[in-house]
Amino acid sequence: MQAVIDDVHEVYAVRYGHHSRRSPENFIGGDPHDVLQPLDFYVWAIVGPAGTILVDTGFDKTMSRRRQRELVKPVRDGLAALGIAPEKVTSVIVSHLHYDHCGNHDLCPNARYHLQDREMAYATGRCMCHQSLRAPFEADDVLAMVRKVFAGRAIFHDGHAEIASGLTVHLIGGHSKGLQCVRVKTRRGYVVLASDATHLYAHIGSGRVFPITYNIEEVVEGYATLNKLAASPRHVVPGHDPLVLARYPAAKPGLEGWIARLDIDPKD
Ligand SMILES: [Zn+2]
Ligand SMILES: [Zn+2]
């Protein structure tokens, strides 16, 4: 890895999972084109002066079977390919508590976990009495986070907050009540890791909404926020789009289709 200066970070998208599906499943109101439009699953690694910070922790083999989502490469293998030792990860930013973002509970034994007040309240409160709202959550994931709270390893935020110099989180809501995105200063300007604030480029690009949604107003307002936080629309990185790996260069030779580098301009 290259040396970094000041508050400038390297950013990587690490693909770990895949789910084949058709486009009508990805939008409220469906999609007239009805084409294959799969989702990829990622975690993101941010390397900077404050050390290595992970955004989300993905899911493991057990969850992949339970949810019938393909585990392509375990998250730990992706980090190893980048030379990142999980024990050295100091902070994990949890975008939200859906099963595909907060599994692998013991991956980073020395990290503290940053999440929004509203997400923890949502995932442990009355909304989880309703099947339609709790469907993307797993009780074991939420319990694991509660245990981290009691172990003194959780740091709560309410709105936007600075995690390190040049690295901030911002409450979006919408898809999940306490969903947050991450803004990172890089050598190509501010990159925004949207996570599920936009699953695909097509969502933010067309103003359409993914079916799992707590509040549609916050989703579409969130698109505007993502664009405002990012240096340009090309600096917004969707949470589940296979195009991320097509557009950005591989982190190094041999990692094509697996790990992309996001602090270098995309190809198109
Ligand atoms: Zn989600
Ligand atoms: Zn997701």
**Nearest bound ligand to CA 136?**
1
**Nearest bound ligand to CA 199?**
2
CA atoms of 80 and 12, how far apart (whole Å): 13
Q: How far is CA 93 from CA 39, 96, 114, 168, 197, in A?
A: 21, 9, 5, 10, 15
When pLDDT is averaged across residues 251-264 and rounded to a whole number, the result is 97
**Nearest bound ligand to CA 41?**
2
C-alpha of residue 98 to centroid of ligand 2, in Å: 7
Spatial neighbors of 37 by CB under 8 A, at least 6 apart, are 21, 22, 23, 25, 26, 31, 200, 202
Predicted pLDDT of residue 177: 98
Q: What percent of the chain has pLDDT over 90?
A: 96
Asked whether residue 44 carries a pLDDT value surpassing 70, the answer given is yes
Alpha helix (H) residue ranges in 35-155 = 61-67, 75-81, 117-124, 131-134, 139-150
CA atoms of 14 and 58, how far apart (whole Å): 10
pLDDT in tens, 126-152: 999 999 999 999 999 999 999 999 999
Cβ atoms of residues 71 and 16 within 8 Å: yes
Asked whether residue 5 carries a pLDDT value surpassing 70, the answer given is no
**Nearest bound ligand to CA 212?**
1
C-alpha of residue 88 to centroid of ligand 1, in Å: 26
Length of the chain: 268
Asked whether residue 268 carries a pLDDT value surpassing 90, the answer given is no
CA atoms of 242 and 224, how far apart (whole Å): 22
**Nearest bound ligand to CA 238?**
2
Cβ atoms of residues 225 and 195 within 8 Å: no
pLDDT in tens, 166-191: 999 999 999 999 999 999 999 999 99
**Nearest bound ligand to CA 100?**
2
C-alpha of residue 217 to centroid of ligand 1, in Å: 16
Predicted pLDDT of residue 6: 82
Cβ atoms of residues 193 and 55 within 8 Å: yes
C-alpha of residue 158 to centroid of ligand 1, in Å: 19
Element (H, E) at 203: helix 201-206
CA atoms of 203 and 235, how far apart (whole Å): 15
- Closest to 31 measured CA to CA, from 239, 209, 224: 209
Average pLDDT over the chain reads: 96
Ion ligand 1 contact residues with beta carbon within 5 A: 98, 196
